[in-house]
Amino acid sequence: MDHTKPLSPLIDLIAKEFPQFYVSVFTNGMSQTIIPAYTQSDVRPFEVCFVPRLQMRGLPALLYYKAEWRALMIAAVDWPEQVFPALTIHELGHALYHRQGRPSATAPPTSDSYIEEEITMHELESLVLNSYSDGGYFQTIDELLRKYRISDTRDLDRLSTSENFLSLDKALRADQTSVAVASILAAQHELAVGMRFIDATEEDHARRLQKKIALYRHLRFGR
């Protein structure tokens, strides 16, 4: 792959919006700064808060954007090198939309607006995963779609097996990761496969988006 080409304008926008970070540690329900941001007064630094293993109980996810703190929360686990940047850019995308005041950032989780934002971030995540795997991620997805002769989104459930997800983990060199991280990847794989199929079979942008929203709603809420 040509790594000199930008993956997405949205990634460039995220980089410009969050040029400076400061690092904190989550302790007893509060964050304590350990590495301050050295920045100019006109730049608003962004908080990256690490959560030690003993403080992880009750976290909604191992890596997520905490809107109330406007911070990226990261559990102190062994993150695969190929995976961590993709998950991080996904959550920074949510942080960007929240900072911009987009309605989707505060919409109900089952609404089309919320789901459309999630789709945008998962597509961004897929691009980064594919880049870090030198094209292997999308190549493996396409091979699976051909192998199972998927012709309709209703057929995608046949593809959602631990063996197939492991092949995608291997494409990312993340097949030796923890069960917790593997489960995060499985959710990403399932959605990425479906979105890849929709992109290949639906030319109309509006219908393509509606199919992705329906797919997300089915996978996440069983609807």
Instruction: Show me where the domains of the chain are located.
Output: 112-221
pLDDT tens for 138-150 read 999 999 999 999 9
What pTM, to 2 d.p., does this model score?
0.93
pLDDT tens for 8-59 read 999 999 999 998 899 999 998 899 998 787 666 666 789 999 999 889 988 9
* Mean pLDDT over the full length of the chain: 93
Instruction: Beginning with the edge strand found earlier in the chain, give each strand of the sheet holding 21-27 in spatial order.
Output: 30-35, 21-27, 46-51, 71-75, 63-66
Q: How far apart are CA 218 and CA 216, in angstroms?
A: 5
Q: How far apart are CA 177 and CA 169, in angstroms?
A: 9
